[in-house]
Copies of this chain bind each other. A is one copy, B any other.
């Protein structure tokens, strides 16, 4: 393979595929980036066997077709530091690869391109198209409540459910449920659970390029994201996801309306005491009339503050892990939030005041005086 191209174009593409390079693996070729120059063009590929990325063909002069797999870290470090914009990469039949730019020349040993696990072919039957920025927001507004541990692997991903002209994205970790929906133009009915790692990486690849449309293609075992700059294929997670719809009841005995930032700032202060030194002590909320008292007490000390609220229904004393409330309040987009509660032990439901496209359910902690 012999190609000539521009340093910055190549670097942009390296940065995309680097997201699916294995870091610790017993298969050295998974630590590589594959360079492919064929009749279609010149492009890069990576695959950690959970997900794989293939860039679009980039501007390059292909002098000789071929492919080679180069260890990702050294390849990207070398390209980043080359002295000039123009560069040339040449690999021979033994995969000895020479990278030249100006008066600098590197020689590194690659691996055979045809040993690289190419991305599998994904049937393009079931699809859904959505604006990049919208998809990124849907992920950001839910992914924090994905389960961290793999005791139930399906919960380490997010449910993507297409139903009734809506895309629903749902994350559940046993203590809370985050649900974000968006209307889309499709009449299909489909659901799949996508690993959170793939969703985090796709969010980063979307980056600033927000206006682009993204098409997702689903098969039984895989999802393919088609972006202008690359395609990503990820495995799906097996297992039954929680039936999230029934738990979002509209019934409540206590409802408060409060400024999102006001409540978030107060909880962050309270968490200084309750979450000190990785403790998980509760924060107490006492709702009485138009007053909300937020307090904590640990061996470290106490905190106490009073906030003004709008309040319907009964007075209520309830306690929470403040992190669960804070993470929700950080991602809601409206400035005012509604919190619906029934009693000390049932979950509360939080949403922005103006719309219901994002809603959150959070379990309280057991209340102790």
Q: Which of B78, B103, B266, B300 contacts A307 (CB 8 A)?
A: B103
A74 at interface by CB-CB < 8 Å: yes
A85 at interface by CB-CB < 8 Å: no
Contacting pair A300 B108 (CB below 8 A): yes
Contacting pair B105 A265 (CB below 8 A): no
If the complex has contacts A265-B83, A268-B81, are A303 and B74 also in contact, measured as CB distance less than 8 A? no
If the complex has contacts A81-B268, A268-B81, A272-B77, are A103 and B306 also in contact, measured as CB distance less than 8 A? yes
Interface residues of A in 292-337 (CB under 8 A from B): 300-307
Interface size bracket, A side = 20 to 34
B residues less than 8 Å from A303 (CB atoms): 104-107
Contacting pair A106 B302 (CB below 8 A): yes
Instruction: List the B residue with the shortest CB-CB distance to A301.
Output: B108
B residues less than 8 Å from A140 (CB atoms): none
If the complex has contacts A78-B272, A81-B272, A272-B81, are A301 and B106 also in contact, measured as CB distance less than 8 A? yes
Contacting pair B276 A104 (CB below 8 A): no
If the complex has contacts A83-B265, A268-B81, A301-B74, are A106 and B307 also in contact, measured as CB distance less than 8 A? no
A109 at interface by CB-CB < 8 Å: yes
Interface residues of A in 94-129 (CB under 8 A from B): 103-109
Q: Which of B74, B265, B273, B302 contacts A300 (CB 8 A)?
A: B74
- Least Cβ distance of A112 to chain B in Å? 17
- Least Cβ distance of A23 to chain B in Å? 13
B residues less than 8 Å from A108 (CB atoms): 300-301
- Least Cβ distance of A278 to chain B in Å? 13
B residues less than 8 Å from A268 (CB atoms): 81
Cα A300 to Cα B82 in complex, Å, equals 18
Cα A45 to Cα B354 in complex, Å, equals 50
- Least Cβ distance of A104 to chain B in Å? 4
Q: Which of B74, B104, B269, B302 contacts A305 (CB 8 A)?
A: B104
Contacting pair A74 B276 (CB below 8 A): yes
Contacting pair A304 B105 (CB below 8 A): yes
Contacting pair A106 B74 (CB below 8 A): no
Cα A78 to Cα B274 in complex, Å, equals 12
If the complex has contacts A81-B269, A81-B272, are A107 and B302 also in contact, measured as CB distance less than 8 A? yes
B residues less than 8 Å from A104 (CB atoms): 266, 269, 303-305
- Least Cβ distance of A311 to chain B in Å? 17
Contacting pair B305 A105 (CB below 8 A): yes
Contacting pair B272 A74 (CB below 8 A): yes
A2-44 vs B, CB cutoff 8 Å, 1 = contact: the mask equals: 0000000000000000000000000000000000000000000
Cα A263 to Cα B95 in complex, Å, equals 30
B residues less than 8 Å from A78 (CB atoms): 269, 272
| 13 A-B pairs in the complex with CB atoms less than 8 angstroms apart | A74-B272, A74-B276, A74-B300, A81-B268, A82-B269, A83-B265, A103-B305, A103-B306, A104-B305, A105-B303, A106-B303, A106-B304, A109-B300
Given pairs A78-B272, A83-B266, 7 additional interface contacts (CB within 8 A): A81-B272, A103-B305, A103-B307, A104-B269, A107-B301, A107-B304, A109-B300
The 6 closest A-B CB pairs, nearest first, are A108-B301, A104-B305, A107-B302, A105-B304, A103-B306, A106-B303
